[in-house]
Amino acid sequence: MVYITRREHFSAAHRLFLPEYTDEENLSVFGKCSNPNWHGHNYILFVTVRGVPDPVTGLIIHLRHVSKLIDDRVLSKVDHKNLNLEVDFLAGKVPTSEILAIGIWNELAGGIRQLGGELHCIRIEQSENNIIEYYGE
């Protein structure tokens, strides 16, 4: 079993808040991430797939197929977008990196399986100091 990771990145705006809260309540729960006029990040995304290398080609999976899948199912939806307003798989949710990682897992797991691998981990670096990992369970 070998693990292969593809690194991608995207830039997006978001705001952490609950509409039923006042601005003060949102500030106390979400801190400066609740700024009503949005803010944004460069997100670094690591998608890890596991599998057994093919005995002939030495490959687990065609990484450019993984890359295309990530592009179709994730990057095209989130890059240079507003995570609160424009992303189908985040609709109705607070777009924390935790929720984003789970959402990206759900977007990719099936497609990875069709490519012959198994999705192992979604890792998101929201900044160099804040990192989220989700293993699907």
CB distance 81 to 20 below 8 Å: no
114 lies in the binding site for a copy of itself (CB under 8 A): no
80 versus 113: smaller Cβ distance to a copy of itself: 80
Q: How far is the CB of 114 from a copy of itself (least distance, A)?
A: 18
- Cβ atoms of 51 and 61 within 8 Å: the answer is yes
Rule CB under 8 A: say whether 77 interacts with a copy of itself.
no
Paired tokens of 79: 């890059």
What radius of gyration do the chain's Cα atoms show?
17
74 strand-pairing partners: none
Class of residue 114 by CB neighbours under 10 A (exposed 0-12, middle 13-18, buried 19+): exposed
Span 13-72, contacts to a copy of itself by CB under 8 A? 13-14, 16, 18, 29-33, 35, 37-42, 46, 48, 53, 56-60, 62-64
124 touches 44 (CB < 8 A): yes
Q: Which tokens sit at 1?
A: 């079993």
Task: Please identify which residue in 68, 80, 91, 110 interacts with a copy of itself, judged by CB under 8 A.
Answer: 80
Q: Which is nearer to a copy of itself, 48 or 69 (CB)?
A: 48
Q: Footprint of a copy of itself on this chain (CB under 8 A)?
A: 1-9, 11-14, 16, 18, 29-33, 35, 37-42, 46, 48, 53, 56-60, 62-64, 79-82, 85-86, 93-99, 101-102, 127-135, 137
